Chain A
């Protein structure tokens, strides 16, 4: 059994988690830049974080035979101060030269503010000018549907092909619009605030297996780095074929991520 967890924040996890993921069949992960649980006080703090994502984590993952890739950005929660955000964004082009960076992410909105939207648009432009893939964070809870629509409008105003953009954290009230507009959709298996493996399997049954993947988004909160293999088990218990299970947890991630020349895995 092999799978890819295309969204997990390993900087917040222990080395034991890498070991458990490897034992469960994880062959590759991709790690978007995100909010660390506290606001950083300087752009230099982000430079250090980007070094951690591009230098340190790939080495830690490699100890367990897992390929580690990353996405860079200033996350929406820390993007509400445009001046500060622009300082951070100015650091990104240099890091895009790293061989394990796949694109810009996870950009998006947090509280659906105009300030966040300004920085989202500037990071979309950065992705466009550097021909990068885009990984999108959508807001939580009651803000999700509104934020997802604003984000999709901003993305559609760019010239980036929708097939090079994945919109993450979709739920039953956003997945259809995301897929209908040509984007890829990510389902986050996260207790309490996002999806369970059962609901993610329901969504695949209702909306199909094209342009969709699952991820754990494991981080510093209550989360589960083994959520993807647990979803595979849920699909299997329900009687789905191994080819369908592999498609949404291995082949679809490979198809989307392989649009970046930096995505290379040996199987």
Chain B
């Protein structure tokens, strides 16, 4: 099955009518987060890998290609295949991959 079939029962106008305000607010939240980063005190560690990943993800939002959600999730996923022996000392999931560990470079 193609994920791109016209499977949403609504028209484009109906989708906009139902969801525009909700996603306008979410978009402004993202903008405000990036503004907040600009205003934050600088650190000596350079750009955080999560910030870099988010900028790449934002580019996917506006590239005009389909399946944006899946492609952003893929961007934020660990591409490695090896398994560590133990979780001892490991931190919790951070939502993006550190460059030394795999995908986001």
- Interface residues of chain A, those whose CB is within 8 Å of chain B, are 77, 80, 110-117, 139-146, 150, 171-173, 176, 198-199, 202, 205-208, 237-240
Residue of A nearest to B74 (CB): A173
Contacts A113-B86, A145-B74, A146-B81 known; list 16 others, CB within 8 Å: A113-B87, A115-B86, A141-B76, A142-B76, A142-B78, A142-B97, A145-B73, A146-B79, A150-B83, A172-B70, A173-B70, A199-B69, A205-B9, A206-B1, A206-B7, A238-B8
Whether the pair A114, B84 counts as a contact (CB closer than 8 A) is yes
Whether the pair B80, A238 counts as a contact (CB closer than 8 A) is no
Which DSSP category, helix, strand, loop or mixed, fits chain A's interface?
A: helix
Stretch with Cβ within 8 A of A (4 or more), from B38-46, B55-63, B88-96: B88-96
Which DSSP category, helix, strand, loop or mixed, fits chain B's interface?
A: loop
Query: Which residues 1-17 in B have Cβ within 8 Å of A in the complex?
Result: 1, 3, 5, 7-10, 14
B97 surroundings in chain A (CB, below 8 A): 142
- Interface residues of chain B, those whose CB is within 8 Å of chain A, are 1, 3, 5, 7-10, 14, 18-19, 67, 69-70, 73-74, 76-81, 83-88, 90, 93-97
A207 CA / B87 CA spacing, docked (Å):
34
Select the residue from A139, A199, A238 with max chain B CB neighbours within 10 A. A238
Whether the pair B93, A113 counts as a contact (CB closer than 8 A) is no
Whether the pair B80, A146 counts as a contact (CB closer than 8 A) is yes
Whether the pair B84, A113 counts as a contact (CB closer than 8 A) is yes
B86 surroundings in chain A (CB, below 8 A): 80, 113-115
B18 surroundings in chain A (CB, below 8 A): 237-238
